[in-house]
Amino acid sequence: MTEPILVKNLRILLRRPGRVETGASILLEDGRITWIGEQPPPLSKTGYVIEGDTLIAAPCLYNAHTHSAMTLLRGYCDDYELSEWLQYMWAVEKHLTPRIVREASLLAAMEMASTGTCGFMDMYFYPGETARAAASLGLRARLGPVIMGDVDPYKAVEHSIYFAKSLKGLKNIGGVINVHSIYAAPLDAVTYAAEAARQHGLPMHIHVSETRREVYEAKKKYGLFPVELMAKKLNALNKYTVLVHAGWIASWEINLVAEAGASIVHCPTSNMKLATAGHMPAYELIEKGVNLALGTDGPASNNTLNMFLEMKQMVLLQRHSYWDTRIKARHALQAATTGSARAMKLPRGCGTIEEGAPADLVLIDAEDPLIQPTRIDNIESTLVYAATGREVRYTIVAGKIVYDRQRDWERWRRRAAIIARDLNRFIERYAGEKSPTPPTPRTYEPPLTQ
């Protein structure tokens, strides 16, 4: 049971995009938002009080696609072409150990919590270690083994379900069926994974149509584009399917995604940095009612896990592609809050500040110089275009303060420095090595024992 929290007399409350007010107070009890109003109720129990007169309350951000332990590879071989870059990444990843993934995940979790991200969906090696790191800080996470390489499709999916069940003891942590892609996993695994995801209510998370080459190969091999293949041949599009990237999705594939009720995760920075080009047609997807989520992708291809920066990148890339301003700050806020929460199958209400919703919210310093002058009428665009994440004072997940800048920043800084020394020692051992083939993550990741 967490202590109730009363946030009093907020300078600005952004309940969700389009609904802003001032002078409100919020009561958080037992993991939920139980009251919002102008006159704070007397606390029935002893609770923690946060004075809100210099604070902005906004919904939490959720990172719907990442490989968070790739903090290890942040800043490593940044400026190579995609194919060469991958060979450098793979050479290091072949040597990964659970300990390194644990440390790198902890670094990632600190970065996310301190920049207003309350939860993330992950695809990487040793997911149990990342799960423990997220749980140790109190973040929400959706993760699981990666289905990739020459594996038995049925057994691999069964094992992902088994692993997801083993996460039950960790608060706010849940499973996801991770299939790397249609080109790196058996196609039967995509079909089984989609069906199992529907049956078990888990997201099925897959990279798709990231590069032009992937689309070309699919068309040559199967006569269909990747999303088309998933819909028509693999029966793999349903409301639990989460398609990541979709930078080369064809116009006729958008209808298939909309009809299935699947989600798409946009990763604008990664697409630009890896120069995969294409165009993720955000406007058409939104118009057709597709749930659009936002993710940073891994910190090797971004190089941050900061969702404030990602929101800005989304709008900029979209405007650059459309040659007009049809994509607004509000679209990015929606994608990063309710859009990602829905793709991740988080509890209903995540991504909004409403009575009865889970108590996930961010309190931002309304007086930080970087976001001045902030007003009630410009709050959405200020959060998307000016905020850097540094302005976050508190990140609250399920009613628990997971990050309090005053309490945590100095301690986390020291902890990050120790982790960084260790990660650098690891990287130095393999610096300059290349591997022509990817390492295979453990599909049969042992279930988590707490």
Interface ranges with Zn ion (CB under 5 A): 297
For the bound state, the minimum distance from the C-beta of residue 96 to Zn ion, rounded and expressed in Å, comes to 16
Question: What is the smallest separation between the CB atom of 45 and Zn ion, expressed in angstroms?
Answer: 43
Q: Return the sign of the alpha-carbon dihedral for residues 331, 333, 336, 338.
A: negative
Q: Which is nearer to Zn ion, 25 or 303 (CB)?
A: 303
Q: Are 10 and 23 in contact (CB under 8 A)?
A: yes
Q: How far is the CB of 341 from Zn ion (least distance, A)?
A: 19
Cβ distance 242 to 265 under 8 Å? yes
Task: Give 182 or 371: the residue with its C-beta nearer to Zn ion.
Answer: 182
253 vs 297, which CB is nearer to Zn ion? 297
Q: Classify the C-alpha dihedral 393-396-399-400 as positive or negative.
A: negative
Q: Which is nearer to Zn ion, 25 or 63 (CB)?
A: 63
Hey, what are 12's tokens?
Answer: 């600005």
Q: Which of 319, 265, 256 is nearest to 291 (CA)?
A: 265
Residue 214 CB, shortest distance to Zn ion, in Å, is 13
Closest CA to 394 of 384, 383, 407, 381: 407
Under a CB-based contact definition with an 8 Å cutoff, are residues 40 and 366 in contact? Answer: no
- Asked if 343 and 291 touch (Cβ cutoff 8 Å), the reply is yes
Residue burial 131-148, b: 16+ Cβ < 10 Å; e: rest: bbbbbebbbbbbbbbbbb
CB 59 within 8 A of CB 336: no
Nearest approach in angstroms of CB 40 to Zn ion is: 43
- What is the DSSP pairing of strand 32-37 with strand 25-29? antiparallel
CB of 279 to Zn ion, least distance (A): 18
Give the nearest distance from C-beta 67 to Zn ion in angstroms: 6
Find, among 59, 58, 54, 91, the residue nearest to 72 by Cα: 91
Total residues belonging to the chain? 450
Name the closest residue to Zn ion (Cβ): 297
Q: Please, which residue, 300 or 396, has the CB nearer to Zn ion?
A: 300
